[in-house]
Structure 1
Amino acid sequence: TVSISTKKLNEKVEIKVTDNGSGIPQKIVDKIFQPFFTTKPTGQGTGLGLSLAYDIVKAHGGELKVETKEREGTEFIIQLATV
């Protein structure tokens, strides 16, 4: 199951995308925002999705973080300044 929530925090808006999947192994969490990093077999992914998302959020003065627990799920947290 994937869920999305939003919240206003002072001068920021927070968007959370959460799943209850298998989580991301700790050994690769630090690499997931790197360009061309993928866990998919050759030819089945560019490894650009999270890297591009990270760059877009940063370009707008925001922050993109990940919190994950193996066998429990993952949460991506985006924070952007309000106008």
Structure 2
Amino acid sequence: MNSQSELFHDIRLVFNLRYNKKPQILRRDSVFSRDFGLSQSTQASFLTDIGNIYRIQISTDDLPKEFNLDQLAEVIIKKKNKKAFAP
């Protein structure tokens, strides 16, 4: 599994474990999104399946008001590829 596939897998696993379903549309300002670590602040955090905590700066401007999991993953991957992704 390449790193992009692993990252998609990690994000989906977090949602699946926490909510027991794959979300389709997320809202930045919803409880669902805040529980995941996205809020009006620019800090977003998530857990991987092995329990590592990753923190990455994501501006709310990086995401539309409503977004799906793949769009979120793409933003995180772009930031990670720019080496703004630190364990």
TM-score, reference length from structure 1: 0.28
Which has more helix, going by share of residues? 2
Larger Rg: 1
Q: Return the structure number with greater relative CO, CA threshold 8 A, min gap 6.
A: 1
